[in-house]
């Protein structure tokens, strides 16, 4: 699939959580631009194999690698496999993330550790390994949530992890800009396929009404924004947080 005319020809991209949801749409989109893909997954081995098959069917190249991103040793092993299989890395998309919530009076430590592990430790460990490998023109793209900007009752921990991730973006952009690497955040609103689906019965009408478009977003629409940030065209965009939520106020 990759030829010199494609924006990401010759590049290698890692997308975390690419066995389903938004991560899968991003992996497929970057492959369409000519990148060779590492489709990361944790529990969704079958989903990751399916993402790789979809990329191959479209003429691209992808391999699946597993890691619990909350565990540093898992992340290190995944990067060792990337070194072995590709010998280079150009684009890293931190899409894997989990959401949960509940009343302040009932904070559960297990839930807190889970959200901190996947949403904060994970992107941090991934970016730390990536920082050792990315060169001039490298890209790190973090997936936040509109709930960081518009928290709702019960979303406190999830919203805080995503607000902290945006803070990481700004710090990493300052640190890595000196090496020609950009770091940005994409901020989806409610999006399907993806985690919003699992609460849609209850929340869909609220999410739809929150946008003047009267609908929720699609994973493909989020992937388009990521593809721009991953491209050479976005060389001067760094430390930015791009809201992709159809002007919703929630
Ligand atoms: N969909 C939305 O409405 C929405 C809105 C705002 C922001 N976002 C953000 O967008 C990103 C993608 O969300 P999504 O909707 O695609 O979510 P999703 O469909 O619920 O998928 C979650 C992803 O996170 C991965 N993951 C979970 N625990 C993991 C762990 N311990 N280690 C490694 N990976 C793990 C899962 O991989 P496995 O299945 O392989 O375990 C899966 O690919 C997230 O950061 C989310 O916070 C989503």
Instruction: Give residue-wise pLDDT tens across range 76-89.
Output: 999 999 999 999 99
Residue 53 CB: number of other CB atoms within 10 A?
12
Say if residue 250's pLDDT is above 90.
no
What is the pLDDT at residue 107? 95
C-beta 191 within 6 A of ligand 1: yes
pLDDT mean over 181-189: 98
Spacing, Cα 233 to ligand 1 middle (Å): 27
What is the pLDDT at residue 3? 64
Q: What is the pLDDT of residues 156-184, one digit of tens each?
A: 999 999 999 999 999 999 999 999 999 99
* Contact present, 145 and 188 (Cβ < 8 Å): yes
Q: How many Å apart are CA 37 and CA 82, to the nearest integer?
A: 10
What is the pLDDT at residue 44? 98
Q: How many Å apart are CA 150 and CA 159, to the nearest integer?
A: 8
What is the pLDDT at residue 124? 99
pLDDT mean over 216-232: 98
Q: How many Å apart are CA 81 and CA 77, to the nearest integer?
A: 6
Q: How many Å apart are CA 227 and CA 234, to the nearest integer?
A: 9
C-beta 190 within 6 A of ligand 1: yes
pLDDT band at 218 (very low <50, low <70, confident <90, very high): very high
C-beta 42 within 6 A of ligand 1: yes
Q: Which atom of ligand 1 is nearest to the CA of 17?
A: 43
What is the pLDDT at residue 2? 53
Write out 12-55 in H/E/C secondary structure: EEEECCCCCHHHHHHHHHHHHCCCEEEEEECCCHHHHHHHHHHH
Spacing, Cα 23 to ligand 1 middle (Å): 7
Domains in the chain, please, with CATH? 12-244 (3.40.50.720)
pLDDT mean over 182-196: 95
C-beta 17 within 6 A of ligand 1: yes
Q: How many Å apart are CA 142 and CA 172, to the nearest integer?
A: 11
Spacing, Cα 195 to ligand 1 middle (Å): 7
What's the farthest any 2 CA atoms get from each other in the chain? 57
* Contact present, 28 and 53 (Cβ < 8 Å): no
Percent of the chain topping pLDDT 70: 97
Cα 181 from chain centroid?
17
Q: Which atom of ligand 1 is nearest to the CA of 158?
A: 47
Spacing, Cα 14 to ligand 1 middle (Å): 15
What is the pLDDT at residue 204? 84
Q: What is the pLDDT of residues 230-244, one digit of tens each?
A: 999 999 999 999 999
Q: What is the pLDDT of residues 113-156, one digit of tens each?
A: 999 999 999 999 999 999 999 999 999 999 999 999 999 999 99
What is the pLDDT at residue 205? 86
More confident of the two residues 197 and 201: 197
Q: How many Å apart are CA 218 and CA 215, to the nearest integer?
A: 9
C-beta 127 within 6 A of ligand 1: no
Question: Which residue numbers are catalytic?
Answer: 144-145, 158, 162
């Amino acid at each position: 699939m990759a030829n010199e005319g494609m924006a990401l020809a010759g590049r290698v991209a890692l997308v975390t959580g690419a066995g389903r949801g938004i991560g899968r749409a991003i992996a497929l989109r970057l492959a369409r631009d000519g990148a060779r893909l590492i489709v990361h997954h944790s529990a969704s081995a079958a989903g990751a194999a399916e993402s790789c098959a979809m990329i191959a069917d479209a003429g691209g190249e992808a391999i699946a690698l597993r890691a619990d991103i909350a565990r540093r040793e898992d992340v290190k092993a995944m990067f060792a496999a990337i070194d072995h299989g590709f010998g280079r890395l150009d684009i890293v998309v931190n899409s894997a993330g989990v959401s949960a919530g509940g009343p302040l009076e009932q904070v559960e430590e297990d839930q807190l550790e889970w959200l901190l592990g996947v949403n904060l430790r994970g992107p941090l460990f991934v970016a730390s390994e990536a920082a050792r490998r990315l060169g001039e023109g490298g890209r790190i793209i973090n997936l936040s949530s509109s709930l960081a900007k518009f928290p709702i009752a019960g979303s406190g921990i999830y919203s805080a992890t995503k607000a902290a991730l945006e803070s990481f973006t700004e710090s990493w952009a300052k640190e890595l800009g000196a090496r020609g690497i950009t770091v940005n955040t994409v901020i989806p609103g409610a999006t399907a396929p993806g985690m919003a689906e699992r609460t849609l019965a209850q929340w869909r009408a609220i999410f739809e009404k929150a946008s003047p478009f009267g609908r929720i977003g699609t994973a493909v629409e989020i992937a388009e924004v990521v593809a721009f940030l991953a491209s050479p065209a976005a060389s001067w965009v760094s430390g930015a947080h791009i809201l992709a939520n159809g002007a919703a106020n929630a």
